[in-house]
Amino acid sequence: MVDKQPDLSFPMLEYGKTETPWDLTPLLYRGGAALKTKSAMIKIAQHEVGDLLADRIGLVKRLHSNLVDDLARGISRFSVENKVQCLRRFFTWADLANLGLSLESISDTFLQWADHQLHRQRVERSLSQRSTYDLASLTATMFDNVLNRHASLIKDTRIRKPRGKGKLHTSQVDKQNLEQGFTFGNLLADICNALTLEATRGPLPVLVPLRTGRVLEQWSHLPRLEPFTRPHPQSAVTLRNSLARRAAWEAELSLRTRFPVLNLRIEAELLMFIAQTGMNLQQAYRLRMEQYHYTSHLDGYQVRSYKKRRHGEVIFEIFSDYRDWFERYLNWRNEWFSTEPADLLFPLIRRGRIDDKAPQFNCMQRICGSIGTPLIRPAKLRGTRINWLLRETLNPKQTAEMAQHSVETLIRVYADPHPQLAMVEITRFHQQTDPDISPPGPGSCVLPIPEPIRNIPEQASKPDCVTAAGCLFCTHHRDIESEDHVWSLSSFRHLKLIELARYRPPEKPVHIQQPALITVERLTEKLKFFEESSSVRAAWVAEAQARIREGDYHPAWDGFIRLIEIHREGAS
């Protein structure tokens, strides 16, 4: 009995006019995965690819079901398409290796495939370690879901996640990231300002002046006309016809001839829209043209689609300064696409048609490459926006609401730690919750009322029950006769020495002592007293100094020293 071929298509997706609908049916036939989907379906209908392999049906049906679930859960179409392509390559390899592709054999086939990927990485050198892991991890996850495994298949392989170098978050690196973001934002603004309706309908090339002083020429697929430096080999008739074609192309003001410059502005506007709203790429690109109206909300507007008899649901939120920019883009878009049936808010034209598939920003990539500016893609753009908002507001709940995420997702996925903020938060935490370092300086306090000692140096930290160095110059501060206290004094001295090493004196000499130097001198006096008062105390000082040399700091100061050392490394 011949098994009935299941429906493995994706009818819930919208396809472009020339786009081939997705279908996993070719995976049921030996060699079908290696063919393009359209060709495979034709050959299957004409019985040119052999018989349907019944043992594959259970596996492919479950894979198809999981992919449909991904789409239903809101996973981006681009991500799901990556999984489909990954499966096609896996099945192609298994067919060539004559290995089983059933529910019972898929685990063994995967392990052999993983060994092949390792061979490509270590012997052929055609894959990097990161690419090998990412590919194996994605493939393993799909089969884990099919087999309902609790432990991933990748754990049974020799492929391991490469050890990352870690994220370096220092003020210098953060400054560079922000400057890079501002530079990219300026480029987007320059492109949008230059590609007006008049410019895109004007003579070629369209000029895009940048605020850096550079001017970009956009020829819109018209070959650049170079001056003749020698007699042209073409006949006069051929040359006349060539010039006539150029003139006709330049005179035709249609989507067919001007789509390169139109796409450039649409990509720039889309990236700016994502930076403003925090939407992901798939959501933003699938937005449709609506009759929008604006409701004031916080420091911006809630944008709704107009619905009769009701306000309509909020589609997105924007800052107030962006409203005029957005309205200007809508007017430009309506002038160029008023006769087009497609109603996408950002209607990119590819191969002569408006495509529903999210872009890869090829136009912006070309521009960025020509001027040496890194392209910031939507995911990184959203991450930069979220972390900037988080540092500005210091309010995870408000930032999560603006980013349309839960607080847990914001912290787990998007939030990047920053050393300066971490130092402030750690200090506040210890001051509020940890009695071991209350008062903030090493030692103890007999009366929590700040009172400076007699003859306190003018530039020394003043006692305020908040600053650790201030405790050293307070009349109520007391040293503790213990090895732990000596260790704490030594660690605090090391912290102030690091701070002092980062000090850059002004070019013009001034006769003012640096506060950190005064603190170091005060701590040195205390340690000298311990060292000279008895042999036992001298042993405490020697032990503390040995620990400092080994990088073993007192718990009260260890976190601060580590953070400031990372900060110093990043700035150097």
- Lowest average pLDDT, out of 149-153, 262-266, 511-515, goes to 511-515
pLDDT at position 405, please?
A: 65
Q: Is the pLDDT of residue 543 over 90?
A: yes
Compute the average pLDDT of residues 400-419.
Answer: 67
pLDDT of residue 139: 94
- Tracing tokens 């939120």 back to the chain, one arrives at 317
Q: What is the pLDDT of residue 365?
A: 92
Residue 312 has what pLDDT?
56
Checking if the pLDDT of 549 tops 50, the result is yes
Average pLDDT over residues 447-474: 86
Cα–Cα distance for residue pair 387/4, rounded to 1 Å: 53
Angle at 227 between CA 222 and CA 231, to 5 degrees: 115
Q: What is the mean pLDDT of residues 402-429?
A: 66
Position 136 pLDDT exceeds 90 = yes
How far apart, in whole angstroms, are the C-alpha atoms of residue 222 and residue 391?
47
Least confident segment among 5-9, 82-86, 313-317? 313-317
Pairwise pLDDT comparison (13 vs 491), residue with the higher score: 491
pLDDT band for position 570 (cuts 50, 70, 90): low
What is the residue extent of each domain of the chain?
25-156, 173-220+241-376, 380-414, 419-571
Higher pLDDT, 430 or 269: 269
Answer whether residue 428 shows pLDDT above 90: no
Residue 288 CB partners (closer than 8 Å, separation 6+):
343, 344, 345
Q: Which has the minimum average pLDDT: 106-110, 350-354, 553-557, 562-566?
A: 350-354
Q: What is the pLDDT of residue 310?
A: 47
Q: By the 8 A CB rule, do 219 and 258 touch?
A: no
| pLDDT value at 432 more than 70 | no
Is residue 110 within 8 Å of residue 140, measured between CB atoms? yes
Residue 519: pLDDT above 80? Answer: yes
10 Å CB burial of residue 189 (0-12, 13-18, 19+) is middle
Structure tokens at 557: 């100061």
Q: Which of 9-18, 230-239, 285-294 has the lowest mean pLDDT?
A: 230-239
Between 57 and 182, the more confident residue is 57
Q: In this predicted model, what pLDDT tens digit does every residue of 367-394 receive, in sequence order?
A: 999 999 999 988 888 777 777 777 767 7
Mean pLDDT of 451-461: 87
Supply the pLDDT for residue 248: 83
- Supply the pLDDT for residue 244: 79
Q: Is 279 a residue whose pLDDT tops 60?
A: yes
Assess whether pLDDT exceeds 80 at residue 425: no
Report pLDDT for 228.
45
**pLDDT tens readout for residues 65-97:** 999 998 888 777 778 888 999 999 999 999 999
Q: Which DSSP string do the residues of 295-306 spell out, in sequence order?
A: EEETTEEEEEE-
Per-residue pLDDT at 180 exceeds 90: no
Which of residues 322 and 228 earns the better pLDDT score? Answer: 322
| For residues 330-339, average pLDDT | 90
Q: What is the pTM of this model?
A: 0.54
Mean pLDDT of the chain: 83
Separation CA 487–CA 196 (nearest Å): 68
Residue 429 has pLDDT above 60, yes or no: yes
- The DSSP annotation for 110-161 comes to HHHHHHHHHHIIIII--S-HHHHHHHHHHHHHHHHHHHT-SS-GGGGSS--P
Cα 31 to Cα 169: distance, rounded to the nearest angstrom: 49
Before 509, cis peptide (omega within 30)? no
Separation between Cα atoms, residue 284 and residue 316, nearest integer Å: 10
Residue 510 main-chain phi, psi, to 5 deg: -130, 145
* Contacts of 400 by beta carbon, 8 Å cutoff, 6+ apart: 406, 407, 409, 410
Bridge partners of residue 294, in order along the sequence: 303
| Band of residue 190 on the pLDDT scale cut at 50, 70, 90 | very high
